Structure 1
C-alpha cells in the first residue's frame, strides 16, 4: 500500500469540491476527482498541478458507478483511500408549491441518495485505511434550521446531517471518522443558478437582497481539512451558519420568529 494519503472528492469540477481538491493536493494528498462535468474536472486537475490526480465521470445516483469509481481510484492511488468527500449536490429554491416533481426528485436523488450510495461504496476502502480514515459529508447551514424558500434543499441537508450522526456511531468501532461541514452561502457557481424552474432570479441576487454574507470558498476547504483531521462532528462555515447554530441551540423561539419574518417577502 502506498504511503501517500488519498482523497476522493465528488463535485470536483468546480466550487467547494475543487477547493477541497486543491487544499488537500497542496498538502501532499493523492487527489481523486468525480463529477459529471468532465471539462471542469480537467480544469481542476490542471490547477492541482502535479501527477497525483485521478478523474472519473460519476453520476452519484448510480450505485454501481460508485463502486467502479472508487475501485479505480484505489488502484491509481496505490491501494488506499483515506478520505471520501461526499460533496456533490445541487441547489433548489422557491416555495414548495413552485417546485415541480422532476426537480424535487432530482434534488433528493443527488443530495441525499447520492450521499447514502457514496457512504456504502466508501466503507470497505475506509475500513482498510482505518484508524483515521474519514467520510466527509457536505451538509449546509440549511441543515441546521429549515430555510424558507428552500424546503426541499433543507430536507436533503438535514438528511445529510442525520446520515453523518448515524454513521459516526455505526462506524466508530471500525476506526472510521464520519464528519460534516455546514457552509452558509459560499461563493461558487451554484449561486449563479436560477432558484427553480419557475424563477428567473439568480440565487446570488436573492442572497444579496437578503443582506446575507457570501463566504469565500477557500474557507470551506480549510474547514474540510480541519474536520477530517479533528474530532468535531459538524463544522459550521460562515457567519450565517454559526449564527443559526447558536440560535437553534440557545434561542429557538427568537430564531423561529426571525425565520418567519424572513419568509414574508417570499409569500407576497
Structure 2
C-alpha cells in the first residue's frame, strides 16, 4: 500500500476492468495517487502490479456494503493525508430482460450496485472531498439516462437517478467548494456488454462502439472543468435534448428498434 506523498488522488470503484481500469491507468500516468476498488480481487492484483504498489492502494469493495465502504474511505484517507481530489463512482452492473420477466432479486441487485452504491460512496467520501480544494464528485451515468430504454428498464432507471442526483448535488455541494458531474457513455467496449453486441454495433453514429479510454479521458477533462454532463460520444447530447423536447417522438423511434432490444434482452437472461 502506497501513500500519496502530496500527489493528487482519485478513488475509483469498478476499477478492475473497463472504464475504471483505464481511468486508473490514465491518472497514474498523470502522476496521481490511485485508489482502486472492485469485487474482482484478481483484476485488482493485476492492476496493482501495473501501477506499482507505491502509486496506489487497491482493495476489494462491495459498494453496497456501507460499513465496509466507510472503512475503505478511512483507509484511503490515511494514505492521502485526509484528502480526495476525485471520487469516481464507476461500479455498475447490468441485467437485461423485460421488467415483468426478471426475478425481483435481480432487479434489486441492479438498484443496489448502480444507485445505492453511488449513495454509499458519496455519503462516505464527502468529508474527504470537503477537505480538498477543487475536489470533484464524478459518477458514471449512461446514455440510457436520456430516455428509458426497453430491455434494460431498471438499469436505465438507476442511471436516470444518478443523473438527477448529480444535478442536485452540483448545487448543494457548492457550499463546500465541491463540484459534481457525470458521464453518459453510449456503447462502450467493456465486459458489461452481452455477447455479440460488439460485433453487431454500428460502425458510425452515436451508438458506435467506443473504447473505454475515451471515458477515462473525460474524467480527466471533467476535473479541469465546471461542465455538468459529459457525453461519450458527444452525439449522445442530441439524444438527451430530443428526449427532453419530444419524448413521444423518441418513444416511437426507440419502439421501432425493438428487434435489437429483444436480442439484447434474450442474451442477458
Q: Report the TM-score, using the length of structure 1 for normalisation.
A: 0.89
Equivalent position of 1:199 in the other structure: none
Alpha-carbon distance between aligned partners in 2 of 1:29 and 1:109, rounded to the nearest angstrom: 30
Aligned-residue Cα RMSD (Å) equals 2.2
Given the alignment of the two structures, is residue 102 of structure 1 paired with residue 105 of structure 2, yes or no? yes
Alpha-carbon distance between aligned partners in 2 of 1:171 and 1:244, rounded to the nearest angstrom: 28
Equivalent position of 1:197 in the other structure: none
Given the alignment of the two structures, is residue 67 of structure 1 paired with residue 70 of structure 2, yes or no? yes
Deviation of 1:221 (Å): 0.4
Contact 1:88 1:111 in 2 (8 A): yes
For residues 62-98 of structure 1, the C-alpha deviation after alignment (integer angstroms, 9 at most, x for no partner) is 1111110011011122332111101100012121122
Q: Structure 2 unaligned segments of length 5 or more: list them.
A: 264-269
Q: Report the TM-score, using the length of structure 2 for normalisation.
A: 0.88
- Local SS of the residue matching 1:85: strand
Alpha-carbon distance between aligned partners in 2 of 1:263 and 1:94, rounded to the nearest angstrom: 12
Given the alignment of the two structures, is residue 218 of structure 1 paired with residue 213 of structure 2, yes or no? yes
Equivalent position of 1:241 in the other structure: 236
Contact 2:198 2:209 in 1 (8 A): no
Alpha-carbon distance between aligned partners in 2 of 1:203 and 1:35, rounded to the nearest angstrom: 25
Contact 1:207 1:213 in 2 (8 A): no
Alignment of 1:44-59 (within 5 A): 44-49=47-52, 51-59=54-62
Contact 1:213 1:239 in 2 (8 A): no
Alpha-carbon distance between aligned partners in 1 of 2:228 and 2:79, rounded to the nearest angstrom: 30
Equivalent position of 1:147 in the other structure: 149
Contact 1:179 1:228 in 2 (8 A): no
Alpha-carbon distance between aligned partners in 1 of 2:238 and 2:86, rounded to the nearest angstrom: 29
Deviation of 1:247 (Å): 2.3
